[in-house]
């Protein structure tokens, strides 16, 4: 029997409580077994991903990134994620 990989987690970068609740509802309805973590800005997302790297923890299986956060840093976060070979 081939062991299955642990489900990991999803990182949702969303500053709107309402939109985040919609993502949670959709994930539950789809039966996703993953833990869902939240960051409210691109900067917070990058900080969390950097903490994973420094602590040698696994990155999320998927990052859902709001490009138009109120802080306006979603596109910059995406650019920096794309530049980091380990995060692609």
**Each residue's pLDDT tens digit, 12-21:** 999 999 999 9
Average pLDDT, the chain: 89
**If you ran DSSP here, which 8-state letter would residue 14 be given?**
-
pLDDT at 2: 57
pLDDT mean over 51-79: 89
**C-alpha–C-alpha distance, residues 71 and 87, integer Å:** 22
Lowest-confidence segment of 1-5, 59-63, 64-68 by average pLDDT: 1-5
Copy the structure tokens of residue 85: 């070979």
What is the pTM for the complete model shown? 0.85
Q: What is the DSSP track for 21-74?
A: HHHHHHHHHTT--SEEEEESSHHHHHHHHHHHHHHTPPPPSEEEE-TT-TTS-H
Lowest-confidence segment of 8-12, 21-25, 49-53 by average pLDDT: 49-53
């Amino acid at each position: 029997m081939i062991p299955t990989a642990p489900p990991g987690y999803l990182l949702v970068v969303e500053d709107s409580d309402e939109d985040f609740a919609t993502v949670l509802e959709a994930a539950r309805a789809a039966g996703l077994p993953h833990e869902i973590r939240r960051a409210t800005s691109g900067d917070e997302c990058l900080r969390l991903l950097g903490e994973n790297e420094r602590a040698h923890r696994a990155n999320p299986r998927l990052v859902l990134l709001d490009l138009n956060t109120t802080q306006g840093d979603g596109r910059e976060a995406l650019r920096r994620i794309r530049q980091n070979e380990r995060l692609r």
